Amino acid sequence: MDGQLLPVLLLLLGASGLWGQGPGPEGPLEEPPEEEPPEEKPPEEDGILVLSRQTLGLALREHPALLVEFYAPWCGHCKALAPEYSKAAALLAAESAKVRLAKVDGPAEPELAEEFAVTKYPTLKFFLDGNHRHPEEYTGPWEAEGIAEWLRRRVGPSATRLEDEEGAQALIDARDVVVIGFFQDLQDKDVATFLALAQDALDMSFGLTNQPQLFQKFGLTKDTVVLFKKYDEGRADFPVDEELGLDQGDLSRFLLTHSMHLVTEFNSQTSRKIFAARILNHLLLFVNQTLAPHRELLAGFREAAPSFRGQVLFVVVDVGASNDHVLQYFGLKAEEAPTLRFINIETTKKYMPADRGPVTTTSVAAFCHAVLGGEVKVCSRRSPPDWDQRPVKTLVGKNFEQVAFDETKNVFIKFYAPWCTHCKEMAPAWEALAEKYRDHEDIVIAELDATANELEALPVHSFPTLKYFPAGPGRKVIEYKGTRDLETFSKFLDSGGELPAEEPTEVPGAPFPEMPENTTEPKDEL
């Protein structure tokens, strides 16, 4: 074949599509790729980005630090959070902070809610450097300044680097509680531990130094974390263990314990910190702060506190303020003040002084030592004279053993709390049960206020708790877990403490709280 014709034939074959390289002479060899539409920019409401499944990716690329609130339009906690969330956004914008706040309507974006395991509203997630897969759960406060500070410590340093005495003193003077880490080597792993803790301890300011002159100024010769405060002892030192290093849990407990005032007044602002201190033993002084004689007792109470630092938390409860829930929990009335109560919040056991003597430094210290030494019995009221005159018998700590373990009687007891909604709901059925069996000499229907009476060998952890004590030897106890109505109660009694197999075995109950506290933390479950 003529060599000059070969290129022409090859061109014709390719153009005709015989080699599968194109649609033919009418069209191009390849379709041009379709252009993707530009990504939609998220709208804003009150300085908050409003995100959807389509706009979340763009927001993560544009904003290296992004806090996203998953909310529901019907959620009351979300509505309460909204103005604080917007204020936090405004605070950060005014500082030109490199962080943005956003929100996602969870019910309207179920795929996003499922992807990020949202089980309650509001839920807040923090995305750093566009990390879509592993956002950090928000653990900070629910008011504007707390939200802003939580974010500041994630996008900036969580502790101020201190180079001289002037800078150190300025930091100490700036806040009521300031924590400074003195480390000879700032590359040590203990420094990373210190900075990680500083990210979340928002009610304290943190500093960091390796300067020898600052070690000398504050009388230090080894790595130490020092808490400075404008009250009580003024300073507390936490030396770093030279072999084990700095343990974040131990340091956290130390800071919580020593940042607490020796005596803390219980209110909605302090209640969360009281429980966060992780001190299990609490001594409470109930007083009416409008009365001068009551206020005079505070000095002696305070003087007893230092020797129990870290072991017993000293708390003042003003019965003249909005603390009725605390009085109810301890089975007290306001007119019983001034009085002391001691509680271990892990076992929920409560103790009271043996006598109503004056509250002095000596009597307070003696009461604490006696409880800690196991010399004081748990709280128990005296039996009322008419305890057995009603169909439902009234039990207290004093007569419980005698009645419950009477070998000639089948005793059915309701352990309740006066404030418990579940207890109030089942009260009519319990009264009706007692009336039905009032003429049965071998059956006793009774109740015991578990907030005012402690039973050493029979702890109660939820309300109401129902227990059946069958007649006969052996001190047998059967916990009732059936439906709370007259018919099922009757079947249970008539069968000697057994329920038919078809009866439900789980019923709701009000948990026995550590101690009632006011909290504003949002927790609307899905």
Q: Which residues are catalytic?
A: 75, 78, 420, 423
C-beta separation of 447 from 392 below 8 A:
yes
Distance CA 424, CA 429 (A): 10
388: DSSP letter = T
Strands 281-287 and 339-344: antiparallel
Per-residue 3-state assignment (H helix, E strand, C coil) for 281-342:
EEEEEEECCCCHHHHCHHHHHHHHCHHHCCCEEEEEEECCCCCHHHHHHCCCCHHHCCEEEE
452: DSSP letter = T
- Smallest Cα–Cα separation from 491: which of 433, 423, 425? 433
- Smallest Cα–Cα separation from 86: which of 114, 64, 67? 67
Q: Which amino acid is at 367?
A: F
Distant-in-sequence, close-in-space partners of 334: CB < 8 Å, separation ≥ 6:
288, 319, 320, 327
- Smallest Cα–Cα separation from 49: which of 6, 101, 121, 5? 101
Distant-in-sequence, close-in-space partners of 296: CB < 8 Å, separation ≥ 6:
none
518: DSSP letter = -
- Smallest Cα–Cα separation from 87: which of 136, 147, 33? 147
CA atoms within 13 A on the CB side of 404: 25
- Smallest Cα–Cα separation from 48: which of 7, 8, 90? 90
Distance CA 152, CA 473 (A): 66
Cα Rg of the chain (Å, integer)? 34
CA atoms within 13 A on the CB side of 315: 26
Residue with structure tokens 């405004």? 90
Q: Which amino acid is at 425?
A: E
C-beta separation of 463 from 425 below 8 A:
no
Strands 393-395 and 443-449: parallel
Residues in the chain: 526
CA atoms within 13 A on the CB side of 301: 27
Strands 123-128 and 510-511: unpaired
